[in-house]
Copies of this chain bind each other. A is one copy, B any other.
Amino acid sequence: MVTVNRNYLKLPGSYLFSTIAGKVSTFQKENPEARILRLGIGDVTQPLAPAIIESLHRSVDEMAHQETFRGYAPDLGYEFLRDAIAKNDYKDRGCNISADEIFISDGAKSDSGNIQEIFGADNKVAVCDPVYPVYVDTNVMAGRTGAYNKEKENFDGVIYMPCLESNGFLPEIPEEVPDLIYLCFPNNPSGAAITKEKLQEWVDYANRTGAVIIYDAAYEAYITETDIPHSIYECNGARTCAIELRSFSKNAGFTGVRLGFTVIPRELVRDGVSLHRLWARRHGTKFNGAPYIVQRAGEAVYSQEGKKQLREQVAYYMRNAHYIYSELKKAGYSVSGGVNAPYIWLKTPDQMSSWEFFDHLLRNAHVVGTPGSGFGAHGEGFFRLTAFGSYETTQEAIHRITQI
- Which residues from chain A sit less than 8 Å from chain B, CB to CB? 1-6, 8-9, 11, 14-15, 18, 41, 43-48, 50, 53, 56-57, 60-61, 63-66, 69-73, 75, 106-107, 109-110, 113-114, 117-123, 133-134, 137-138, 141, 179-180, 210-212, 253, 255-258, 270-271, 273, 275, 278, 281-282, 284-294, 390
Contacts and interface: CB of A to CB of B under 8 A. Distances in A.
B123 A2 contact: yes
15 contacts: A2-B180, A2-B211, A3-B119, A3-B123, A5-B278, A11-B281, A15-B281, A18-B284, A41-B72, A43-B72, A47-B66, A50-B64, A71-B253, A106-B287, A258-B289
A137 B285 contact: yes
Contacts of A46: 66, 69
Contacts of A65: 47
A43 B14 CA distance: 38
Contacts of A117: 5, 141
A271 B2 CA distance: 7
A48 B66 contact: no
A8 B286 contact: no
Contacts of A211: 2
Contacts of A258: 106, 288-291
B2 A114 contact: no
Given A6-B120, A45-B66, 15 more contacts: A2-B210, A3-B270, A5-B121, A8-B281, A9-B273, A14-B281, A15-B285, A47-B65, A48-B69, A69-B253, A73-B256, A110-B286, A256-B291, A258-B291, A291-B291
* Most chain B beta-carbon contacts within 10 A, residue among A2, A284, A288, A289: A2
A305 to B, nearest CB: 14
B64 A60 contact: no
A30 to B, nearest CB: 22
